[in-house]
Amino acid sequence: MLDPTIYKDWQIAEEAEKSLPPVAEFCENMGLKPDEIIPYGRTPKLNFIRIMDRLKDKPDGKYIEVTAITPTPLGEGKSTTSLGLIEGLGKLGKNVGGCLRQPSGGPTMNVKGSAAGGGNALLIPMTEFSLGLTGDINDIMNAHNLAMTALNARMQHERNYDDEKLASIGLKRLDIDPERVEWSFVLDFCCQALRKMEIGLAEGKMNGYRMTTRANIAVSSELMAILAVARDLKDLRERIGRIVLAYDKKGDPVTTEDLEVAGAMTAWMRNTINPTLCYTVEHQPCLVHAGPFANIAIGQSSVIGDRLGLKLFDYHVTESGFAADIGFEKFWNVKCRLSGLKPNCSVLVATVRALKMHGGGPEVVPGRPLPEEYTRESLSLLEKGCENLFHHVKNVKKSGIVPVVCINRFHTDTDAEIELVRSLCKAQGVRCALSEHWRYGGEGAMELAKAVVEACEEETDFKPLYPLEMPLRERVELIAREVYGADGVDWAPLALEKARRFETDPKYADYCTMMVKTHLSLSHDPKLKGVPKGWRLPIMDILEYGGARFLCPMAGAISMMPGTGSNPAYRRVDVDTETGRVLGLF
């Protein structure tokens, strides 16, 4: 084990990869059959259908979800904690694994860097994980952009051909309204210059249809949301066929099925339904499936990945994106409703750094040094900030499952600060565990692992916050009050008009409510830290995801194409031309 205060993550990953058993041996030790493995070098895909068919009668393992308090912009280590917990449970001799989401190339090459965890709680092979893995995001990009290609081509041909000509090649006029094209192109980098663009500018009627469009980041595609919730290939194909790309001039939806492109999109994505096998640096298995972007999409590792993990492992760890008001709320009311799975406990990750910020500490800015308040002892800031922690604890308890607070320790945290958080949790009757997985791996996560095992033995009464029969506006009001702590909801005219239409159309009766708001505050305003009081949630618009079957109320403007910062990670990434090794990933 290397000391992460001295060595970089990529160096720790390289050292761990040297002793990784051969793939065939590792899979055999997991109990997998040769025909259940789809070779992809050190990161094979697992044949979901074959494994589930063989293990369909096997009881599920314990289901553990990892979430967090409201984070600083630097994040509070949910992926690192998930991997550390897997390693800690491994140290206890448990048959354990997990499922994490594949990182986007945008953050990896931008300010955030890889989402592979860190220190000695790291996913390997780190380079492959960080740079495309087995191609799921690439397949999503191709399928998504194929739909946009088909849409623009159809608009061109309908402009150029009369009805008789269209009929002669088996087409009927869709009469797409160019002002109501809902989809965009996608790219898996943070390219703010593509947030708005004009296409079809070349002269000549066969050079496309001129229109204003944009490019969003690939992982925000509805196809990623569909992959996260699909139960199998058949379900994936049906959901892709229901995607609404645009509306016609009468206001009726134009779907991928109308464009006859849904089948080809599914062909591009056929292999994405099979999770990819990766490993912790201590050589426990960890599946990778679906992707990030929790504030606009579902932000969860997939239903398929969790169903598979619960059959393969006695303890299965899954992660929800961002804080518990976003990630856990969607896990609770959307993912578990769709999967039918019931968790045994939820690990709520907290850091002294973030708690101090919520207690009134200075602004934390990515790319800048941390203010000294975060690296020296400050018990008053810490105690005040714990209000945010206990707000999230209360929400987890509302679901009927057991929370375990994990203090994810940084090397600058003092013993007095750790003891203060412990004592406050004890006073609230909340199970709390210190974890030093970043520095010590599984050994450092033993206290957390033992607390999780204990929590998994407690009785649960897991239930959603609201029934599907509840009208959309009532659901939003309930989430705003009960989860965020708002005094109520204010509807902009556009959002109100859409809400009324969705509530009166039976087509939308079983659509899930996928809230969209900032992850940096319990409120819609990222500047409001701690537990804001005396505020109302503004809903500006509602997005419709017809394939995923989501209605997405938007609390403020959310950019679906992040921007690249002034000091991006790609400046430090290179290749050793002698060995081919990638250097500088973190």
Residues recognised as catalytic: 78, 80, 101, 112, 294, 322, 410, 438
Cβ proximity of 313 and 85 under 8 Å? no
429 torsion bin: left (phi>0), alpha (psi -120 to 50), beta (else): left
With tokens 């018990």, the residue in question is: 379
How many CB atoms within 10 Å of residue 172?
A: 10
Q: Mapping DSSP to helix (H, G, I), strand (E, B) and coil, where does residue 26 land?
A: helix
E strands, 119-270, are 121-124, 176-181, 185-187, 197-199, 211-213, 215-217, 244-248, 253-255
For 301, the token pair is 């590792």
CB atoms within 10 A of CB 114: 24
The structure tokens 């000091």 sit at 567
Q: Which helix (H) or strand (E) holds 404?
A: strand 402-408
Do the beta carbons of residue 21 and residue 257 sit within 8 Å? no
546: tokens are: 């017809």
- The CA-atom distances, in angstroms, between 484 and each of 157, 325, 352, 391, 431 are 48, 6, 22, 9, 23
Determine the Cα–Cα distance for residues 59 and 439; give it in Å rounded to an integer. Answer: 35
Nearest of 393, 512, 504 to residue 464 by alpha carbon = 512
Nearest to 242 by CA among 564, 549, 563: 549
d(CA 129, CA 141): 17
Distance, in Å, from the CA atom of 68 to the CA atom of 76, rounded to the nearest integer, reads: 7
Distance, in Å, from the CA atom of 246 to the CA atom of 255, rounded to the nearest integer, reads 7
Considering only CA atoms, which of 288, 225, 324, 275 is closest in space to residue 86?
288
Letter for the amino acid at 285? P
Using alpha carbons only, what angle is made at residue 90 by residues 84 and 92, rounded to the nearest 5 degrees?
A: 110
Alpha-carbon distance of 279 to 136, in angstroms, equals 18
* CA angle, residues 68, 69, 72, in degrees to nearest 5: 105
Sequence-separated (6 or more) residues with CB below 8 Å from residue 534: 487
Write out the H or E segment, with its range, that includes residue 512. strand 512-513
Task: Tell me how far apart the alpha carbons of residues 298 and 147 are, in angstroms, rounded to a whole number.
Answer: 21
